[in-house]
């Protein structure tokens, strides 16, 4: 843990409110909310190894929303590796095309390659959206088959960047034409729905499988689902067990996901609108945002300056105002430019974006 992360954590404990991400709750508060939710939702029986109870209810609800049967997993890392393994075994190739900024390449400690033997090819590089042309170019260059293509919707490390509906449709047509399964890393697909302004099932209809997360925009404890064709559901459950994910009780995670679907999913358009209002104000204050305007509730802000000095000002702000204002800043790819990710959720909406932009500008500026 870096010094900045440690100081941020210590100061966070003394804050009485926060602007970004989901509100801080003690474990006791979190579990009390879930206990109350069991009563509200009528969850009276526990799951046993992921069968029955809240887990069955969640899989049913997610399946309805996404238009494909869903299987719950304790983590997205496990969910996606399982799904890709199935596609690759079916396709007879362990090669997966994905963005070089994909979670699988940046945040999984090489597990997908070491555990499953995937070979990765870059579908896109940097902050670019996946297109049919990128897919066709890659398959032309490779000269051998791909087991699957992965798109991250939205691409988190690029400020939660999304392809347009037309770009995504064209990619879907191209992969289907080539007989290559298209899988979506939809960790933030709930947050992406207002950008497309189409039902989730229509968006998911363009891909062959998708992983969704319950603890980002939905604010749950942890957990994920994979939605996939009916004939792969049994094998997905087998891979969940093989990888140690069929916990004796998944109920707490499933209940927290049901709460998120009930309370947070209907608010995603509000969060996007507030994020766009804040982004516009940040630009007025001389900062750069990406994407501009944001595609989802989460985007990146950039400022020229020294990361350490910016974080000193951030920590001073937190100590003075007893308010969390995002997370510590970090270096961007451009020397001398610092950046920070801003995830907008319910807490932000209690604030005026004009005021929040001024706070951020004062932290970022000299
Ligand atoms: C884009 C993306 N994919 C996959 C994951 C993995 O999810 P989990 O933390 O549930 O394993 C994350 C988590 O942050 C993510 O942001």
Residue 78 CA, ligand 1 centroid: distance in Å:
10
Tens of pLDDT along the chain (366 residues) come to 678 888 998 999 899 999 998 878 889 999 999 999 999 999 999 999 999 999 999 999 999 999 999 999 999 999 999 999 999 999 999 999 999 999 999 999 999 999 999 999 999 999 999 999 999 999 999 987 999 999 999 999 999 999 999 999 999 999 999 999 999 999 999 999 999 999 999 999 999 999 999 999 999 999 999 999 999 999 999 999 999 999 999 999 999 999 999 999 999 999 999 999 999 999 999 999 999 999 999 999 999 999 999 999 999 999 999 999 989 999 999 999 999 999 999 999 999 999 999 999 999 996
Residue 76 CA, ligand 1 centroid: distance in Å:
5
| Confidence at residue 366, expressed as pLDDT on a 0 to 100 scale | 62
| C-alpha closest to that of 118 among 149, 152, 93, 140 | 93
Residues 6+ apart with CB under 8 A from 280: 293, 353
Residue with tokens 């004062």, as numbered in its chain: 362
Is 152's C-beta closer than 6 angstroms to any atom of ligand 1? yes
Task: Select from 107, 151, 190 the residue to mutate for testing ligand 1; criterion: most ligand atoms less than 8 Å from CB.
Answer: 107
Is 224's C-beta closer than 6 angstroms to any atom of ligand 1? yes
Following CA atoms 276, 281, 282, 286 in sequence, which dihedral angle do they give, to the nearest 10 degrees?
140
Residues 6+ apart with CB under 8 A from 321: none
Nearest CA to ligand 1 atom 8: 76
* Burial classification of residue 304, based on how many CB atoms lie within 10 Å of its CB (0-12 exposed, 13-18 middle, 19 or more buried): middle
Residue 267 DSSP SS3? helix
Residue 140 CA, ligand 1 centroid: distance in Å:
30
| C-alpha closest to that of 63 among 270, 261, 268, 272 | 261
Positions of E strands within the chain: 17-18, 70-73, 95-99, 119-124, 148-152, 182-186, 209-213, 224-227, 288-290, 298-304, 323-324, 330-331, 337-343
Positive or negative: CA dihedral 205, 181, 222, 43: positive
Residues 6+ apart with CB under 8 A from 247: 49, 50, 74
Task: Select from 78, 187, 217, 226 the residue to mutate for testing ligand 1; criterion: most ligand atoms less than 8 Å from CB.
Answer: 187
Task: Select from 75, 77, 82, 327 the residue to mutate for testing ligand 1; criterion: most ligand atoms less than 8 Å from CB.
Answer: 77
Residue 157 CA, ligand 1 centroid: distance in Å:
12
Inter-residue contact 94 to 88 (CB < 8 Å): yes
Residue 80 CA, ligand 1 centroid: distance in Å:
9
Inter-residue contact 340 to 288 (CB < 8 Å): no
* Token code pair at residue 9: 């954590």
Is 82's C-beta closer than 6 angstroms to any atom of ligand 1? no
Atom of ligand 1 nearest to the CA of 224: 10
* Token code pair at residue 350: 């209690």
User: What's the rounded Cα separation, in Å, for the pair 339 and 346?
Assistant: 23
Residue 103 CA, ligand 1 centroid: distance in Å:
7
| Confidence at residue 258, expressed as pLDDT on a 0 to 100 scale | 98
**pTM of the predicted model, to two decimals?**
0.96
Positive or negative: CA dihedral 299, 193, 33, 30: negative
Is 191's C-beta closer than 6 angstroms to any atom of ligand 1? no
């Amino acid at each position: 843990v870096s010094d900045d992360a440690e100081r941020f954590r210590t100061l966070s404990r003394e804050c009485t409110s926060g602007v970004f991400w989901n509100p801080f709750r003690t474990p006791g508060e979190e579990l009390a909310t879930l206990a109350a939710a069991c009563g509200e939702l009528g969850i009276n029986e526990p799951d046993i190894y992921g069968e029955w109870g809240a887990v069955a209810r969640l899989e049913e609800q997610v399946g309805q929303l996404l238009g494909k049967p869903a299987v719950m997993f304790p983590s997205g890392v496990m969910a996606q590796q399982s799904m890709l393994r199935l596609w690759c075994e079916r396709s007879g190739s362990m090669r997966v095309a994905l963005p070089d900024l994909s979670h699988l390449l940046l945040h999984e400690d090489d597990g997908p390659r070491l555990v499953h033997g995937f070979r990765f090819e870059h579908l896109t590089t940097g902050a670019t959206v996946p297109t049919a042309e990128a897919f066709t170019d890659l398959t032309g260059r490779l000269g051998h088959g791909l087991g699957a293509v992965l798109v991250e919707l939205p691409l988190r490390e690029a400020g939660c960047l999304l392809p347009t509906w037309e770009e995504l449709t064209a990619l879907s047509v191209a992969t289907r034409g080539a007989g290559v399964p298209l899988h979506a890393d939809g960790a933030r697909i709930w947050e992406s729905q207002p950008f497309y302004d189409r039902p989730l099932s229509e968006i998911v209809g363009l891909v062959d499988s998708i992983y969704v997360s319950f603890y980002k925009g939905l604010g749950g404890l942890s957990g994920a689902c994979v939605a996939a064709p009916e004939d792969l559901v049994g094998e997905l459950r087998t891979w969940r067990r093989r990888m140690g994910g069929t916990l004796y009780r998944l109920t707490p995670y499933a209940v927290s996901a049901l709460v998120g679907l009930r309370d947070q999913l209907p608010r995603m358009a509000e969060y996007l609108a507030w994020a766009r209002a804040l982004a516009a104000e940040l630009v007025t204050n001389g900062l750069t945002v990406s994407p501009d305007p944001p595609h989802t509730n989460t985007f990146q802000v950039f400022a020229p300056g020294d990361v350490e000095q910016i974080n000193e000002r951030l920590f001073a702000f937190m100590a003075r105002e007893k308010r969390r204002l995002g997370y510590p800043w970090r270096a961007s790819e451009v020397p001398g430019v610092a950046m920070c990710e801003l995830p907008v959720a319910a807490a932000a909406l209690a604030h005026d974006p004009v005021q929040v932009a001024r706070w951020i500008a004062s932290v970022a500026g000299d």
